[in-house]
Structure 1
Amino acid sequence: MDLIVAKFGGTSVGDGSRIKKAAQSVVNEYMKGKQVVVVVSAVNKTTDDLIGLSNEAIGSNLTDNQKAEIMAMGELTSSRLFSATVESLGVKSQFIDPYNELWPIMTDSNALEAKIDFATTNKMFKGIEELLNQGIIPVICGFLGKGPSGEITTLGRGGSDVSAFLIGHCLDANEVIIVTDVEGVMSTDPNKIEEAELLDEISVEEMWDLATHGAQVLHPHALKYKDPLISAKIINFAYGDLSVKGTRITGPFEGDMTKSVSLYKNPISLIALVGDGMLKKSGLLAKLTACLASNNINIFGISAGQNSMTVFVEKQDSQKAYRLLHTLVIEDDVFSSLSLAEDTSMITIVSPDFAEETPGIISKITEPLRKNHINIIEISSSQTAIVVYVKLEDGKKAFELLKEVLE
C-alpha cells in the first residue's frame, strides 16, 4: 500500500475553508487506497503572534523552555483542528503532539534549536505504523520535538519541512508532498517577472542554492533530511488535490552541501588590474572574462573594488593571462595598469550551515590564521562556501587549521 506524507504549511490551513479543503484532499487520497500521514504547521502568522504576545508580556524574563511551550501552541491547535475535520469527512484520524505517548520525534534538550535523536526517533515510529495499519490518519505537529525529560522542543527554522522529510524517511514513504501557497518552483519570482514558468523538477542541489539565496518555497535546512529514495514535490494548496503535478525535487543531499575543507592541488596566481572609478564603468567585467575565456583560461575567482579588479587563475595559465590582460589594459582607457602578484594557495570551506546558523564564521576562520601568523591575501564568501587565499608556503598549515574550525 502506497504511503504519502503530506505537509501543510501555515497558509494552506490559514482559515476554516482552507483546513476543510486540505482535509478533503487527504481523504480523497485515503479513499484511493493510500495511507496518509499529515504534518501540519501553525495557522498562518499564529507563531509570530504568540511570540509577539509573550515578548510584550514577559520580555527578557521569558525562558527558552517557556518560549518553546508558547510557540508550540500554534501546531497543537492546528493538528487538533485538522484531525477533527478529517473525522467530520468520515475517516478516522488521530492528532499526535508531544504530549501523546505515540509522539515519534525525539530530540536533545535544546528548547529552540533542538537536534534530533535519530536512533530513538526511528524506534518511536512503530506506534504511527500501527495507526496506519488500523486505517487511521495520523495528524502530526510539524516543527516540534520532545526532549529527554518529556519537554517540548522546537526544531528551529524550516522545522515543519524537516518534520515532513524526517517522517517520510522513518516510515519509508513513497512520497513527501509539501503543500504551500505557490505552484511549485518557478524559473524566477512571478511577482517580479510575469513570464516566469513552473519547473517540472529541480535537483536538491539546485533547490538548496535557490533557498539559500532567498527563495521562500522551502527552507534549505529541511533539504538535509530529504531521502534520495523517496519522491518529493511542492504543490499549491489552492487545487485541493494532492495528485497535482507541482515541482518534483530529485536526487540525494550530497556534493557541495556536505561540510568540507579542500586545498586546491595547484598554485593560484593573482592578477590585479587598476583604473580610476572602475566600478562606475559598465562592461569591464565582460571584457575581462571574454578575453580569458576565448583563450581557454579558467577563472577561479574575481574580486572588485572601487579602482581595481583581481582575477584568480592557475599558475600554469598566469603568464598567458597576464599578457592577454595587458593587451586589454593598453586597448581600454579605463584600465591604467596591471600586476602579477605572488602565487597563493586556495582553500575552500563548504558548509550548508553557513547560510542559516553560523554567525561570526568569518572571524572564526580568520582568528586561528592570525594567531599562527598566516596572512590572508584574499577572502570571498557565498551563502554556503568561503574561499581563502594565503601565501603558497602557508597553504598546508592553513588547511589543517581550517579543518579544525569546521569540525
Structure 2
Amino acid sequence: MSLIIAKFGGTSIGNGKRIRKAAQSVVKEYMKGNKIVVVVSAINRTTDELLEIVEEATNNTITEKQLAEVVSMGEMTSARIFSSALESLGVKSEYIDPYKSEWPIITDSNLLDAKVDLKTTIKKSKILLKLLDQGIIPVVCGFLGRDKHGYITTLGRGGSDITAFLLGRCLNADEVIIVTDVGGVMSTDPNKLQEAKKLDKISVEEMRDLATHGAQVLHPHALKYKVPEIKAKIIGFEHGDLSAPGTEIIGPSKEEQLKTVTFNSEPLAVLAVVGEEILNKPGILAKLTSTLSKKNINIIGVSTGKNSITLFIRKEDAQEAHKLLHDVVVEDENLSSLSLGRDIAMITISSPEFIDTPGIISEITEPLREHNLNIVEISSSQTSVVIFVDWDDGKKAYELVRGVLK
C-alpha cells in the first residue's frame, strides 16, 4: 500500500469530462489498495477571469483580504466538484478548504504571497491521515493557506504545486504525481520546436532551474519540499491513469537539501581575453571554449563584459591554456590581447532556500565589503552563489561567508 499525492492542474480538470476522467484515475489507484490525497487547482482560467471581474468591479480598490477570499473560490469550487465526482464513482471523499477544521496548511499573514509555517503544517496535516485510514479520499484546495487569525492566504501563482509537494513531505508520502496538460518535461517548448522530446528523468536542480527560467510545467518553489525518499513524476492528463509513464524527478541529494559552503583546495587561474565590443561578435566565446575543450582543459567559470571574456581554470592548466588562447587572439582580428592573472579562490554557497530569500547576495557579500576583501567575480543561480576572490583572501572570505549562514 502506498500513499500518493495527486495534483491536478487547471487544464487537466478544464471541464466536466476531464474532471470525471481525473476522478476515475484516482479511483483506479484507490482500488489497488493505495491511499490518495488529491490536490486541485482552479478550473482552467477561473482565477484569471475572477481577477478581471474584480478589476472592473472595484477599480482595484479591493483589500488584500477581500482579494484572497475571491481568488480562493476557484480552488474551492474545483475541490467540491472533484470530491462529488469521486463519490459518484462509489468511493468516500471529503473536500478540504481553509474554512474547515481539517485544513492543514498554515502560513504567515502575507495574504497574497504567503510563506508556509512548516512546523505547524506538519502537525495539522496529520488529521488527513485519519481520513485516509477511514477509507476517505481527501480533496484539498491547492494554492491556498490560512494564517493564525483564520484569514485565507494564497501561495502565489503555481501554488498548487507547492501544496502537493508540501503535503507529500508532511505526510511522508511515497509519491507525488503532478498531472498537467503535457506528458512530462520536454527537451524544449514543443510549441516552439516540434522536435522536442519528452525526458524520462530530470534532477531536482535541473527542474528548478528550468522552471525558474520560464518552463511552465512546475513551480520552482515547490521543489524545496521535495525530499529524496519521496518519488515524484509529471504526467499528462490524457492518459487518465496515475501509473502512466511521464518524467521522473530525481533527488535532491542530501547535500542539496542543506546550506553548504565549499572552498577549492587549490588556486584557480584567471585568463582575460579583450577586444573591442567582442560581446557583439558572434562565435568568439565558442572559439575560446572549444580551443580549450579540444585539449581537455575544463573551464570552472566564465564572465563576459562588453570588451572582455574572463575564464577561470585550474592553475595546473594555466600555462597551456595561456599559449592556446594566445594563438587564437593573434589569429582573430576581433581580439587584441590576453592576460594571465593572479591566483583565485572560489567559494560556492548553496541552499534550496535561496530561491525564497530576497537580498541573499548582498547578505553574503556585505561582510566581505566590511573587511575590505575585493570580489573578483560573482555568479549566481536560484540555489547557489559563487564568489571569486584573490587566493590570499580566500580563507578569510570563506570564514566570513560561513558566519553569515550559521
Q: TM-score, normalised by structure 1?
A: 0.88
Letter in 2 for 1:236: G
Task: Supply the distance in 1 between the matched residues of 2:357 and 2:26 (Cα, whole angstroms).
Answer: 38
How do residues 319-338 of structure 1 correspond to structure 2 at under 5 angstroms?
Answer: 319-338=319-338
Task: Supply the distance in 1 between the matched residues of 2:252 and 2:365 (Cα, whole angstroms).
Answer: 32
Give 3-state SS (helix, strand or coil) of 1:10's partner: coil
Judge conservation of contact 2:202–2:247 (CA < 8 Å) in 1.
yes
Deviation at 1:181, TM superposition (A): 0.5
Report the counterpart of residue 141 of structure 2 in structure 1: 141
Give 3-state SS (helix, strand or coil) of 1:179's partner: strand
Task: Supply the distance in 1 between the matched residues of 2:361 and 2:119 (Cα, whole angstroms).
Answer: 34
Across the two proteins, how many residue pairs are aligned to each other?
406
Judge conservation of contact 2:221–2:356 (CA < 8 Å) in 1.
no
Q: Deviations over 1:192-225 (max 9, x none)?
A: 2222222222232332232223221111211121
5+ residue gaps in structure 2?
A: none
Task: Supply the distance in 1 between the matched residues of 2:402 and 2:117 (Cα, whole angstroms).
Answer: 26
Report the counterpart of residue 87 of structure 2 in structure 1: 87
Report the counterpart of residue 162 of structure 1 in structure 2: 162
Letter in 1 for 2:274: V
Report the counterpart of residue 398 of structure 1 in structure 2: 397
5+ residue gaps in structure 1?
A: none
Report the counterpart of residue 117 of structure 1 in structure 2: 117
| Residue 130 (structure 2) pairs with residue 130 (structure 1) | yes
How do residues 205-284 of structure 1 correspond to structure 2 at under 5 angstroms?
Answer: 205-252=205-252, 254-256=254-256, 258-284=258-284
Give 3-state SS (helix, strand or coil) of 2:190's partner: coil
Letter in 1 for 2:18: R
Q: Deviations over 1:17-51 (max 9, x none)?
A: 22222122222323343332211111122223333
Cα 1:50/1:400, change in 2 over 3 Å: farther
Identity %: 62
Task: Supply the distance in 1 between the matched residues of 2:350 and 2:2 (Cα, whole angstroms).
Answer: 37
Report the counterpart of residue 317 of structure 1 in structure 2: 317
Report the counterpart of residue 381 of structure 1 in structure 2: 380
Give 3-state SS (helix, strand or coil) of 2:216's partner: coil
How do residues 282-293 of structure 1 correspond to structure 2 at under 5 angstroms?
Answer: 282-293=282-293
Cα 1:394/1:147, change in 2 over 3 Å: same
Report the counterpart of residue 174 of structure 2 in structure 1: 174
Task: Supply the distance in 2 between the matched residues of 1:364 and 1:118 (Cα, whole angstroms).
Answer: 24
Letter in 2 for 1:85: A
Q: Deviations over 1:305-346 (max 9, x none)?
A: 333221112334333322332233233333222122233332
| Residue 186 (structure 2) pairs with residue 153 (structure 1) | no
Cα 1:202/1:124, change in 2 over 3 Å: same
Cα 1:230/1:381, change in 2 over 3 Å: closer
Cα 1:313/1:231, change in 2 over 3 Å: closer
Quick check: 249-258 or 199-208, which moved more? 249-258
Aligned-residue CA RMSD (Å): 2.7
Task: Supply the distance in 2 between the matched residues of 1:7 and 1:208 (Cα, whole angstroms).
Answer: 18
Report the counterpart of residue 349 of structure 1 in structure 2: 349
Deviation at 1:182, TM superposition (A): 0.4
Letter in 2 for 1:312: F
Judge conservation of contact 1:376–1:389 (CA < 8 Å) in 2.
yes
Task: Supply the distance in 1 between the matched residues of 2:276 and 2:103 (Cα, whole angstroms).
Answer: 65
Task: Supply the distance in 2 between the matched residues of 1:303 and 1:141 (Cα, whole angstroms).
Answer: 45
Cα 1:193/1:318, change in 2 over 3 Å: same
Task: Supply the distance in 2 between the matched residues of 1:364 and 1:56 (Cα, whole angstroms).
Answer: 41
Letter in 1 for 2:77: T
Q: Deviations over 1:242-298 (max 9, x none)?
A: 222122223335445643333333323222122234334443323322332344432
Task: Supply the distance in 2 between the matched residues of 1:382 and 1:123 (Cα, whole angstroms).
Answer: 33
How do residues 68-107 of structure 1 correspond to structure 2 at under 5 angstroms?
Answer: 68-107=68-107
Give 3-state SS (helix, strand or coil) of 1:287's partner: helix
Task: Supply the distance in 1 between the matched residues of 2:122 and 2:188 (Cα, whole angstroms).
Answer: 37
Judge conservation of contact 1:205–1:253 (CA < 8 Å) in 2.
no
Judge conservation of contact 1:213–1:383 (CA < 8 Å) in 2.
no
Task: Supply the distance in 1 between the matched residues of 2:80 and 2:67 (Cα, whole angstroms).
Answer: 21
Task: Supply the distance in 2 between the matched residues of 1:253 and 1:316 (Cα, whole angstroms).
Answer: 30
Deviation at 1:178, TM superposition (A): 0.8
How do residues 30-49 of structure 1 correspond to structure 2 at under 5 angstroms?
Answer: 30-49=30-49
Q: TM-score, normalised by structure 2?
A: 0.88
Quick check: 41-50 or 3-12, which moved more? 41-50
Quick check: 163-172 or 92-101, which moved more? 163-172
